[in-house]
Structure 1
Amino acid sequence: MKWVRTCAAFAALSCLVACGAEPAPQAQAPSSPEAIPARPALASLDIERLRTLAAEALRGQRTYAPAGDNAVEYYLALRDKAPGEATVANALQELQPYVLIAAEQAMAGGELSEAQRLLDLLARVDAQAPALPRLRAGLDAARAAQSQRLAELQAEDQRLAQQRATALANAANKPAAPASVAPVSSAPASAAPAASAAPAPPPVATVPAPAPAPVEPIAIAAAPPAPRRDEAAARPLPRLISDSAPRYPLSALNRRIEGSVQIAFVIQPDGSVTAVRLLSSTPPGVFDEAALAAVSRWRFEAGGQRVPTSRTLSFRLPKG
């Protein structure tokens, strides 16, 4: 009864939210620092207050953001106050894939500060998470590339400023061009009649030049046609060696809903999966998070190159 175990796993997380409560609209980020309300330190709150805040964050879809007011941080504070509580441990285990996906998306979008915050949050949830070394190495590489681009832009700005300064200095120091003067002849006036009286030279017979020999045309061999781009880009997909089945959402299971989700992602040279994103889903919004979390845990055979691809995950209810 695989679906029964799935229900139990999701029930551990959903029991923290009040039954039958309508989801609250997602919290919007304040427009200015002055509008951010002051929140008490999580360590100073009691267990019941932390439970209430965690449930409110889940209903408001504040899974891992904003900083200081999200479900993951409330559950971490609960774990500090009640280290052996199974409900809190199960909730953090369920939320961990979403933090991982958000960190990868922030890194791909160039939001390196947010990616660092999410990696720190992931390390607090599970310091031995297998994806942490890869994500930290990727963040270091992204920072190095960002610093290099900044240095190149600064060097280019300096070069352009130097060129403008040189052009202005050359224009200020360039002398004016001298006026043109018509040449004056120094020959005496009597030279003209003497030149006209000189005898004309005898005529020279002209010999017609021989016609050029006809030139044979040179045959040019036609170049072979270039290979089609789709043939050159065709690559075999690496073999999937670790397949993590998606968890069936409890709300869809209770309402007997089936569907499918198309996910795009990039297989890295080492076989890991990055840049996971949603292409389409039917019905929309029901299975999206479960599919994204499952694909992020997949592992392929190392192929030595990046391979972008996509897969469709189907959610079907068990028969019988």
Structure 2
Amino acid sequence: MDTRDILDTRRHARGAIRPVVIAIIAIFALLAVGAWFLIIKPHQELVMADSGGHPSTPVSATTRAAPPPPANVAAMDVNQLLAEARTAMNEQRYLAPTGNNAFEFYLRVLEKDPGNKVASDALRETFPFAATSAEQSINSRDFNEAQRQIDLLAKADPTNFTLTILRSKLDAQRKTLDKQQQDAADQQKTQQLAAQKAAADKLAADQLAAEQQKAQSAAEQQKTQQTRTAQQPSQQPSTAPTTAADNSAAASADGGNAGAPTSDAVLVKAVGARYPTAAMRARQEGWVLVSFTVDANGRTSDVKVVDAQPHRIFDRAALDAVERYQFTAAKKDGVAVPSTKQQRIEFKL
């Protein structure tokens, strides 16, 4: 055969194949369009009807009061559960409240009918928006509710990476709240300690002021007593030689001294006892009974504790105070003499 005939034959064959290819492509395109309008689009419309709108509809920030849950969810059939789920989706009750939300209804549908495509598709389509609802619970620090919602999401899609993110956020928020609560407790404790210290300082200042007032009063008493003593006429003893006539006068003088006034020692300067610091911090009270001797010069000596309650807490403070007391000495027949006294010292806050 001639070469030119062969080439012409091949050209005619290629020209015949091209219309066939075009026809096949056109058939596939028609099939794709038909599948879109007859299968895919009706299915998406059904899913949107179940979810109450397009899945991309954002979660509403407005919280509406949820209706009471159905009386007997366990006894509902698949169609009833799907109807309740659609109602919940329309009201955007994806995960809450407990027992009356779309995810729980769809999960019950899958328990009764594991191959139910409407329920499984609805759970998959609305998972991101339900996760947003769980994140809002975390941000509002409703940790128990957030944990419940995360567990519910895990039942629908346990391998979804969003669950890992939600759990991390929940753990971080819990740690933040724990730290804030600990900081608040520490701050409150610091304020309490500062208030207690201020109260103790004020108490010590008040006690010091009271002791100073007592000391001032004692000094004024002593000054008054000294003024009175100075105003009394002084009597000098006679130094003239004794004669027989004077013996009679001396006897008369002795008789007069026998009738001179006799008096007990009188406190003219009291010193306030210092409150022990340890007892003040412990807010401890008590008393000490002290015995001592007042000599002819009005000074105290032989100071010792007779009794105390509690023992050995306030003893030293009481002894130090009494050792600094000053008295007008006791007198017998007008002559200053030593005397023994007891003093009970109170320690009160």
* TM-score, normalisation: structure 1: 0.46
In terms of Rg, which structure is larger?
2
Higher relative contact order (CA 8 A, sep 6+): 1
* Structure with the largest fraction of helix: 2
